[in-house]
Every structure is written in C-alpha cells, then in structure tokens.
A and B are shown apart, each in its own frame.
Chain A
Amino acid sequence: MGGWLSARELHHVRGGRDVLSLGSLDVAPGSRLCVLGANGAGKTTLLRLLAGVERPRLGQVSLDGVSVTGGGVAVRRRIAYTAQRPVLLSTTARRNVELPLRWRRVPRKRCRSLANAALERLRIGHLAERQARSLSGGEQQRVNLARAVALDPDVLLLDEPAASLDAESRTAFLDDLGRALADRATTVVHVSHRVEEAMRLADQVIALINGRVHQVGSAAELIHRPISADVARLVGYDNLVPAHVRSDGTVLIGQTATGLRLAGYKGPASVAVFANGVRPAAEGDAAGVPARVRHVSLGPGYWTVSLTVSLPGVTDLAMTLPIGTPVAPEGSTVRVVFDPSLSTVLPATAATRQPHPLPVPALDPATALLSL
C-alpha cells in the first residue's frame, strides 16, 4: 500500500541561492507524480527533501503524518530513493538488491527470491552474478531500480531514471519500469526534464521552474494548455512568438494572420507552436507569416528548417517537414502558417504571470493534490 506523502512550506537554499520554494504538496497513496523541470529547476532538491536525505532550510515532509525530515530509520525504510547516478556497491548485482532487504531483517531465502524477482522484472536476471560496477550504464540503472522495487516501498522516488540512456534504451527501459510498477500500489514520484517520460509514467505532472511550481495537471493538460511561456518551453514547444489577438479572435503576428484563433480575449499574446506545427502556407491562402529560409538540415525522417521571420520584433522559427516534402532552398522567402492542433495561444496575462499565487487546477482527489 502506498503512503500519503506531504510537504508543507518547503524552502531550501543552496550556496546562498533560493533553490526551492513550495507551498504545499500532497501525493495520495498509489498515485504517480512527475516533477517536470529543466536542469537546475530544483527537481533533484525536491526529491532529496522528500526522501529525507537532505533537510530543508524551512518546512516539513511527512509520510502518513510521520515526519520524514530528520526522521528515523523506520520512516526512511518506507521510502526508496534512487539517485540519478546509480551508486552501486562493489559486489554482485544480486547482492546489491539483497542487501537493503537484509538490513530490514528479511530472511535470507526470501531476500534471494525477492531479489531474483526484481532483477527479472527489470530484465537483468541473467546479470545477477555479475559484478554490479562492471555492468553498462543502462544495466547499472536497472540494478539501481531493481534494488528499489524489491523493497516494495510505500513511496518510490526516482531521480531522472532514464537520463543516462540513449533514445532506444530509454524507450525499452521506461517500458520495463512501467511494467515493474504496473501492479503495485506504490506511490511514485519521479523527476525528469523529458515530457515523454511524464506521459509514460505519471498521472499527474508538476511543472517546476526556478524552484517554484508553475502548473499542475496531467501531461496532456500541460502540453495542450500550458499556462505560461515558461511551461510551454518546458513541455517542448519549439517556437514562442509574440502575437496579438484581435477582438474577432484572429491571432496576428505583426499584422499577418497566422490561421489561429482565440475566442474571448483581445490583446497581446504569445503563440507557442511545435516545429512540426509550422507549415508552408498553401497557394492562395490569405494567412501566412513571411519568413526567409536560413538553414535546412536533414534529420531522421524529416527536414529541419530554420526560418527568420520577416516581421519586426518576431524571433526565428523552427520548422520540421516530412522527408518527402519539397523544401524551399536556403535564402528563399516562404509564408508559413501554424497547425491549430500543434499550437497554443497564450494571452499575455498568462505568459507573464508569476508563479505565486496560482489557481489550483481541478485534480482528481484520488490521485494527487497540490496547492500553493
């Protein structure tokens, strides 16, 4: 059974810098929460404070009402924390998994069967007798996770579990991790800077920017309705362009129509658009932002086109096109429009909004609840 993890008024300072400031966080038993943030956003700090391996400057972390902050062994043993860089012991993979179980006075035979099961779940059963430190980075990360999963903790805290893996290994690893956790009631909090990890593993996501929570919701909500330009950048929007919304809802960049609309708002805004949502305007299309093709490069299955928008105050644009599409040569001028399904318009009030105070999104109380 997962535990109810709570944090209250957490503030942390490192090197004289305010690295984390969090009002209130409650993670319900069995829920899967992802803390999404760029490097240096305070994700690891938050996880370490939740794990009790570091004390906050101010505030309290508790598990089912028992203080984790400076707590004893009993409460720490209900939480398993895996660091981003696996710290494995100089023994076999199996012993690495068994040892924390032995510390909990689990009988030797039971230790072995739990360790074997955890190693199998992470698909490294065949490496059980190998020296853990001689394994590859990906295999070591799997041992690291098997060690945590074998403990069947009430709370599992994962720090960028797939960070050190290449794209192919990461996909397989995340599948295996998801499978290993699938039938467990463990409360899982994991931090990542990749939104795709959040989508795979979490039912709730916190967008953490500069040590402060900017948005809470499902991964899909954050992607489709980011509340600010910072969150839009975090969830992977490649382009953020200053725009203006007319009273009829038409979204303009400069004085040019983009093909996007936003009802119920008039005034300055930003357009966030994925690179694959930028498309050359069709012949005869009235909308279209004029841009010069600065650079064209070939990626796996697509063209990446760098555009310089020919309007005052507008930044460059990135566009990706399927590899079969004809691409305008470098130096030529094109007109581009934005695919509404791959774009979002952020009113300026949202784009410039400060993280305090934030409206609390309507969340399923059975999963996670966060307020500031």
Chain B
Amino acid sequence: MTEPVIDVLARSTAVALWTTLIAGVLGISLGTALALARVGRRGILIAIVNTGMALPTVVVGLSVALLLWRTGPLGDLGLIYTLRGVVVAQVLLATPLVTGVTLAALRQLPRELPEQLRALGANRIQLVLRMWLEARLALLAAVMAGFGLAISEVGAAMIVGGNIHGHTQVMTTAIVETVSRGEFGVAITYGAVLLGVAFLVNAVLALAQRRGSSWADG
C-alpha cells in the first residue's frame, strides 16, 4: 500500500531542516573560526574542508552505515535505519559545504575589517556578530546550499535510512523506488512536490535575507 505523499514529504522536510540547522551552526562556526585563524595554521584545514565539499554521498552513506551498523562501533546508538541516522549522514555532507561557503563569504570582506572592529573596541562576540552581519547575504546562501543538499540527497539517505516505508522513506528515496517499479507518473509527482517545497523554503530564506538587510541598515 502506498503511503500518503504528505507523510513522506513531512519526513523529507523534517530531515532537511534538522540537517540545515545542525550543519548551519557547525559550518558557520567552523568557517568563521577558519576565517579568523592565523594564516599559517589554517591551510591544511581549508584543504580538508574543500575536499569535504566534494564528498560522494554514497561513500559517506556507506561509511556512516558501517559505523552505525548494529555490530559497528556506534551500533549501540541504534541509529541505523532511522531518520536520525539519515540526519547524521547528511550533516556530514552538508557541513563542509556550509563551512566552505562561509569561509569564502568572510574572506570576501575587507581584510582589515576584523582588526578595525577590534580597534573600535569590539569584543570577540561583537566582532563575530558584526562580521556575520556584514556577510549576511552570503551566509544565507551558505544555509540555502546546505538545505538544497539535504532536501535533494538520495545516496546516504538510501543506505543509512534503508528507505523503509512509513519509517525512513523520504521523497528522494521514494522517487528512486517508484522509478525502479516503472511508476514514472508517481515519481514525477513526487519530484514536482519536492521542487515546490525546495522553492518555498528558499523563498522564506530569501525573504529573511531581505529583511535582514533592512534591519542591519536601519
């Protein structure tokens, strides 16, 4: 029996939003730390982040599945074939992306900005907040990129989540399954719905971007 599309969609959206939230916090923090780190110390870390941005999703899915497997080192956590496990895998994929975009965004700011803010008396928190505000548009783009990755990701979700009906099936894995059954009409419907949700979330973020700009300017 086919599960109502709304349930699959809700699951997909929840996974993508949790992934975006966690990867956003981690990625923006890491990207900021890298942007403010002394030049000599960050070269290797930046190389790791750049590599992470190109990680194949099935490789990450496989690695996470092996770790979370019941007999694996993190098997006791009971995350294999759960949505939480899918979120873990997708966070691993999205965090380097958000970190990389954040780093690029902050490096686009005037090189003298951090020291000028310090010289004007900003403490560490005030400095970071102001730099985020200065790079707000690009940072929201980083978050959007993280959401885009999470909502469209299929390899890791399939391997770690197992595409279990009514439990871990998300829109992307459902599309793969319906296509494999030859139900192209259903797959196209799922795809259209998924695109609609992605558009809606990005529209909300774009609105927040615009509001953020006017607030910062006011």
Contacts and interface: CB of A to CB of B under 8 A. Distances in A.
A359 B218 CA distance: 55
Interface stretch (B22-30, B111-119, B157-165, B179-187): B111-119
Contacts of A81: 119
A51 B118 CA distance: 10
A100 B121 contact: yes
Interface in A25-53: 48, 51-53
Interface in B117-153: 118-123, 126, 130, 134
Contacts of A92: 217
Interface residues of B, number: 17
Contacts of A90: 134, 216-217
Contacts, number: 55
A256 interface: no
A89 B130 contact: yes
Interface stretch (A7-15, A72-80, A293-301): A72-80
A99 B127 CA distance: 11
B123 A73 contact: yes
Contacts of A220: none
A31 to B, nearest CB: 21
Given A76-B119, A80-B120, A151-B121, A103 B113 contact: no
B110 interface: yes
A103 B110 contact: no
Interface residues on A, range: 20 to 34
A91 interface: yes
A89 B134 contact: yes
Given A89-B130, A89-B134, A90-B216, A53 B115 contact: yes
Contact of B119 (A53, A91, A99, A104): A53
B119 A80 contact: yes
A131 B116 contact: no
A80 B121 CA distance: 8
A92 to B, nearest CB: 7
A91 B212 CA distance: 12
A246 interface: no
B136 to A, nearest CB: 9
Interface in B170-218: 216-218
A147 B117 CA distance: 11
Contacts of A103: 120-123, 126
Most chain B CB within a 10 A radius of its CB, from A89, A91, A151: A89
Nearest to A77: B121
Contacts of B120: 80, 99-100, 103, 147-148, 151
B116 A83 contact: yes
A122 to B, nearest CB: 16
A151 B126 CA distance: 17
Contacts of A54: 115
A73 B120 CA distance: 10
A87 interface: yes
A335 interface: no
A85 interface: yes
A151 B112 CA distance: 20
A85 B121 contact: no
A76 B122 CA distance: 9
A85 B217 contact: no
A76 B217 contact: no
B138 to A, nearest CB: 12
Interface in A78-118: 79-83, 85, 87, 89-92, 95, 99-100, 103-104
Nearest to B116: A87
A115 to B, nearest CB: 13
Nearest to B126: A103
B118 A91 contact: no
Contacts of B118: 53, 76
A155 to B, nearest CB: 11
Contacts of B116: 83, 87
A90 B138 CA distance: 14
A54 B116 CA distance: 11
Contact of A83 (B112, B121, B122, B123): B112
Contacts of B113: 87
Nearest to A85: B112
A325 to B, nearest CB: 48
Nearest to A73: B123
Nearest to A78: B121
B50 to A, nearest CB: 27
B37 to A, nearest CB: 16
Nearest to B112: A87
A148 B119 CA distance: 10
16 contacts: A48-B115, A52-B119, A53-B118, A73-B121, A76-B118, A80-B120, A83-B116, A87-B112, A87-B116, A89-B130, A92-B217, A99-B120, A100-B120, A100-B122, A103-B126, A151-B120
Give the 6 A-B CB pairs with smallest separation, nearest first.
A81-B119, A77-B121, A87-B116, A100-B120, A53-B115, A73-B123
Given A95-B217, A100-B120, A103-B126, 4 more contacts: A48-B115, A73-B121, A90-B217, A147-B120
